[in-house]
Amino acid sequence: MCGMSQVLERARAEELDGADPLAGYRERFWLPDPSLIYLNGNSLGALPLATLRRVETVIREEWGTALARSWQHWVDLPARAGDLVGELIGAAPGQVLVTDNTTVNLYKLASAALDARPGRHVIVTDLDNFPSDRYVAEGIAFAHGMELRLLPADIDSGISPELVRAAVDEDTALVSLSHVAYRSGALADMAAITATAHQAGALMLWDLCHSVGAVPVELDGCDVDLAVGCSYKYLNAGPGAPAFCYVAARLREVLRQPIWGWFSQRDQFAMGPRYDPAPGIAKFMTGTPAIAGTAAVEEGARLLLEAGIGAIRDKSARLTGYLVELAEAWLEPLGCMLATPRQADRRGGHITFCHPAAERIAAKLGEAGIITDYRSPDRLRFGLSPLTTRFTDVWDAAAATRDVITCGG
């Protein structure tokens, strides 16, 4: 056999799994169906066993037995969980809060940013940004009589610093972008784009939904102003678990949060007549936090921190690289084209292909127990979660995709 065919043998995937320093983490998750190949952790991450135990304790003991007395330690859980998430995204303590969902956090931070840039009337985002990100910006621009500038980001290669540079000026109040593009997985240059926004005098807001737990992020190091992200993708906190928001310490006391709720009040239980915002990151709370979900965020973050974001990124690059290699041999000749940057340091944790029958291929794979997902208009996404995805899963999924397409999928 020649070298090329050996490279494509399943035995190679088995070797890669054997040498994988993170292989043991798969056992830390509740994955009861051994035949299931789950490549959708970029949409809903798997359930850590520690979370199963923790949430049961929260429900049975903290709520069921201790009842309202638990508020003593629940009350600062969103900030404690936020500090743990902060470790994953390069944020020093006191700048991250686990609260609300991503959409609400986008609204809070974008509104606060506009208030802090009076006289400027432009919000910049990109046409291929996630729907909530665009809609919230559109809604705020509408309510304030502002202009929404939508950059023509490339659907496959994402957003470049040059594109942002050409769009910002002295009218720009806020630039709001996703760090990893949800459709293509393209990774934006956070440092360069943030600097570009700042040169124009605008504030910079990053959405980290597809970054946290997959890609190293240095919010403090990149001088980022604001960031949001969800917790149910690579952070594995489960459906409806709260999202997070980051506000740089230098802006924390300056910004005004638009939703004036009692959990962001300085002396919450004084029930006073007027709103007086709490100092610190607590100002970005709204109402009663979702405690069980916040506890799940804490467990998810702990597991990722234990594995180490460096090791996670390293495996992620090798998993996605392996899928690209198999696709070059098997899928691209069949017209299933890579729609993610080929260079590993230009992409996040998932790989996307473009094929006219993408929706049908995803459905056929699903029937065979291989969970991927379809994204409009003709994209097939394979989410590779470093703590649970094996190289053999990648091989099996690539081979099955080839067979589905060959058989008229």
Ligand X SMILES: *Cc1c(COP(=O)(O)O)cnc(C)c1O
Q: Which residues are catalytic?
A: 130, 207, 232-233, 381
Smallest gap from residue 102 Cβ to ligand X (A): 3
Instruction: Say how many C-beta atoms besides its own lie within 10 A of residue 139's C-beta.
Output: 15
Residues contributing to the site for ligand X (CB under 6 A): 101-103, 130, 132-133, 178, 182, 207, 209-210, 230, 243
* Encoded tokens for 354: 């473009």
**Residue with smaller CB distance to ligand X, 70 or 103:** 103
Q: Is 275 in a helix, a strand, or coil?
A: coil
Cβ distance to ligand X smaller for residue 74 or 182:
182
Question: 296 is written with which tokens?
Answer: 């799940």
Sign of torsion, CA 340 168 196 110?
negative
Nearest distance from residue 150's CB to ligand X, in Å? Answer: 15
205 within 8 A of 174, measured Cβ to Cβ: yes
CA–CA distance, 317 with 344 (Å, rounded to integer)? 6
Structure tokens at 274: 């007027």
Would you say 161 and 138 are in contact if contact means Cβ atoms under 8 Å apart?
no
Compute the distance between CA of residue 376 and CA of residue 155 in angstroms, rounded to an integer. Answer: 11
Instruction: Read off the DSSP letter of residue 183.
Output: T
Least separation in angstroms between CB 132 and ligand X? 5
Min dist CB 316 to ligand X, Å, is 16
Give me the least distance between CB of 1 and ligand X, in Å please: 42
- Residue 154's SS3 state is strand
| Integer Cα distance of 115 and 94 in angstroms | 22
> CA separation (Å) from 397 to 13, 332, 365?
12, 15, 8
Nearer CB in complex with ligand X: 63/135: 135
Q: Which is nearer to ligand X, 179 or 364 (CB)?
A: 179
Nearer to ligand X, 130 or 353 (CB): 130
